[in-house]
Amino acid sequence: MYKKYLILILLFISSFYSLYIQADDEGFSSFFNSFFDKEPDVAPIKNALYLEECGACHFAYQPGLLPSRSWEKMLSQQEARNHFEEDITFDDKVVKAQIMHYLTDNAAEYSSFKRSRKIMRSLPSSASPLRISEIPYIKRKHGEMPEKLIVQLNAGSIANCEACHQNASKGIYDDDEIQIPSTGLFDYD
């Protein structure tokens, strides 16, 4: 009798997985992804213009990693002229407005994702950090990692999310998903 139930369960699982593999429709596949994949910690980027304009120079940070006031400050005329020692002043005001709209509408305080909520809880209401690495929650999460190790990992700083968070571009920063690159400089035994 248990064999019949086991066979039915296996048949159901294999059918379900077969549907998952064949799923091309984004809505249909995202339904299945919720069963098989990790849920993002912050909303993944869904804006091609932002990816093109900002992601061309550096990792395109998800809007949910900063509050809207930080994004507004970062794209202000004064900050854009010295965006981490680069001039990113937008020639096209429409492009700037679209990027600003995307970033501020999807900023941490408007997000239901867990990391965004934790980021907002860690920030004083008046704080407008320009660097994600300045956020108390992010500092706390990386606090045990010595600066010397970050440099030796060729990450440069904790701002290089993809150096250790292999699925950062998908919005996944879960501790279980971290892969520290081997430097060959330490004996971990």
Q: What is the pTM of this model?
A: 0.72
Query: Cβ neighbours of residue 63 under 8 Å, at least 6 residues apart?
Result: 43, 45, 71, 102, 103, 104, 105, 106, 107, 108, 111
pLDDT in tens, 25-68: 444 545 554 555 667 889 999 999 999 988 888 899 999 999 99
- pLDDT higher at 151 or 172: 172
- pLDDT higher at 89 or 31: 89
pLDDT in tens, 141-161: 888 777 767 666 666 777 888
What pLDDT is recorded for position 17?
65
